[in-house]
Structure 1
Amino acid sequence: MSLPKPAPSLSGVCVLNPRPARQAAALSQALISAGANVLALPLLEIVPLALDATAKHCLMDLDRYQTVVFVSANAARLGLEAVADYWPQWPVGVSVVAVGPATQSLLNDAGLNAIAPEQEDSEGMLALPALSHVAGHRVLLFRGDAGRELLSDTLRARGAHVDVLPLYTRRLPEATDAIWRNQSQRPDVVLLSSSLIWQHWQQVAGDFAIKPVLIAVSQRLASHVRAAGATRVLCSHGATPDAWLQALQQWQNTAVEFRASSEC
């Protein structure tokens, strides 16, 4: 994916990149190319889980599902590895849904014709035709061991039989507190790509957590951030580097006098 044209307006702006260490490089490079200073502070660590007997049974029965849903890029990466141990080729007739473009790209690179919504969240996936009429269908969700239940609950309410295959757990990296304490520079902007990253940011930064400009990945998350007392909150329309840059440029263009009542 080509990066947008560098934006001189981000020169000197310190942006906190909270992505896991192994996944932070693309976003950091995009921010640097746009003129920003980057503070890499991983607020999330992805820890793979061993597959239990139920998970292995779901994988062996993969061809019995009408649709498989990958809720994150990590779910795609780990899910493809798990499937490869049981299926040398993806079973015919099983549709694939991805939460967003990064996840979709990983799946398509593996030869799958994944579809993804424009809105990169559970609500966006639930609006897709592929997940709208699922009565009697078997659906398998590749995801972490915790998170929102909206997707699974709604699909079951629509008449689908839903199995959940947990592939990883998410936690705050042990080194993050020390990195933050030893960091002399403080960010002007913090990018928030999930509710858990927001929780971890509050845990690490304390009272400072609501002082920078906070860019949330969705309206729902932005509402939670405002409820915590933050007054300078924007939304990004997705979690790709391009989407974050567009949100940052919007802030730079309009936030001379940022209003606490600004909406996404």
Structure 2
Amino acid sequence: MASPDNSKPLTGRTILITRAAGQSNEAVMLLENLGARVLHRPMIEIVEPADWSELDRAIERLDRYDWIIFTSANGAKFFFRRLDEKHIRELPSSSVVLAIGGATAKAIAKEGARVDLTASDSRAEGALEAILEHGGGSSAISGKRFLIPRARVARDFLPDELRKIGAIVDVAEAYRTIQPEGAGDEIRALLESHEIDAITFTSSSTVSNFASLVGEVDLSKILSNVVVACIGPVTAATAREHGISEVVVPDVFSAAALVEALGNHMTKS
């Protein structure tokens, strides 16, 4: 019998990834480099808002904002698309532009815009810490105007905490996530025939939509023989709400770190 290839520890393993179409290339490549067979079945679809008016009002008074906070690459993509449609080429020089996470910073740079500050911690808690440190503390932040272009459904921790210390915060819908149709029966069949070894979730929406598509609120039974990996603690908390007790979570909240953590876990198990 041939000895196993230690450079490809996931050979013979099938991994289901659930991230939106067009946003999983890195994870697919990394998993395939480890020898895995990858199935990509998106659990969310990223689309523009049903109504742009909220963001348009913010754009009309863009120079009034002291801070513009981008919480995701998707938020940056749709925000700058709207700016371009309005023939606005750059952000106000007086505004501090904050990117939450390296992927978001790269997305902003791709649009040709500047990033003044990047919060390395991709959680809202890390962003708040970065704002307070850069901005000179709570008293200096009080009275400042913030714009947060983001998804329609998202955690309110950051805007709520900023308002508590006296900041004026406008949250504007820049995009929304919807649940794609189909794939539920196929995924159930694959799970019931034990053809999936692991599944990755990259947002709470991917977990909730997965549960909806397979028709199970409690996922503990249908995923009992599957390794579940989540990109961060918020997503992991949603997975636990759906009955998944054991979740692999990387120390750094990125696609590369998620794949590494999953590979390490499956190699040991």
Deviations 1:82-106 (CA, angstroms, capped at 9, x unpaired): 1232522222121111221111101
Deviations 1:219-250 (CA, angstroms, capped at 9, x unpaired): 34324433443233111234533212221133
Deviations 1:56-92 (CA, angstroms, capped at 9, x unpaired): 1210211111111111111010011112325222221
Partner SS, residue 231 of structure 1:
coil
Letter in 1 for 2:35: G
Q: Which residue number corresponds to residue 157 of structure 1? A: 164
Partner SS, residue 98 of structure 2:
strand
User: What is the rounded CA distance, in whole Å, between the counterparts of 1:173 and 1:227 in structure 2?
Assistant: 22
- Answer with 76-85 or 213-222: which moved more: 213-222
User: What is the rounded CA distance, in whole Å, between the counterparts of 1:122 and 1:250 in structure 2?
Assistant: 27
Letter in 2 for 1:169: R
User: What is the rounded CA distance, in whole Å, between the counterparts of 2:58 and 2:240 in structure 1?
Assistant: 40
For normalisation by structure 2, the TM-score amounts to 0.83
Q: How many residues align?
A: 250
Measured at CA, do residues 121 and 176 of structure 1 come closer, stay the same or move farther in structure 2, by a change above 3 Å?
farther
Instruction: Note if contact 2:26-2:256 (Cα within 8 Å) is conserved in structure 1.
Output: no
Identity percentage of aligned residues: 26
Partner SS, residue 21 of structure 1:
coil
| Equivalent residue for 1:135, pick from 117, 138, 142 | 142
Deviations 1:136-184 (CA, angstroms, capped at 9, x unpaired): 1100001011121111101111211000110122121013325535657
Residue 28 of structure 1 pairs with residue 35 of structure 2: no
Q: Which residue number corresponds to residue 199 of structure 2? A: 190
Measured at CA, do residues 102 and 126 of structure 1 come closer, stay the same or move farther in structure 2, by a change above 3 Å?
same
User: What is the rounded CA distance, in whole Å, between the counterparts of 2:150 and 2:7 in structure 1?
Assistant: 35
Instruction: Note if contact 1:59-1:86 (Cα within 8 Å) is conserved in structure 2.
Output: no
Partner SS, residue 147 of structure 1:
coil
Q: Which residue number corresponds to residue 16 of structure 2? A: 16
Measured at CA, do residues 201 and 103 of structure 1 come closer, stay the same or move farther in structure 2, by a change above 3 Å?
same
Q: Which residue number corresponds to residue 103 of structure 1? A: 104
User: What is the rounded CA distance, in whole Å, between the counterparts of 1:74 and 1:248 in structure 2?
Assistant: 25
Letter in 2 for 1:115: L
Q: Which residue number corresponds to residue 127 of structure 2? A: 125
User: What is the rounded CA distance, in whole Å, between the counterparts of 1:54 and 1:204 in structure 2?
Assistant: 31
- Unpaired runs of at least 5, structure 2: 1-5
Instruction: Note if contact 2:90-2:113 (Cα within 8 Å) is conserved in structure 1.
Output: no
The structure with more radius of gyration: 2
Measured at CA, do residues 161 and 101 of structure 1 come closer, stay the same or move farther in structure 2, by a change above 3 Å?
same
User: What is the rounded CA distance, in whole Å, between the counterparts of 2:143 and 2:87 in structure 1?
Assistant: 25
Partner SS, residue 43 of structure 1:
coil
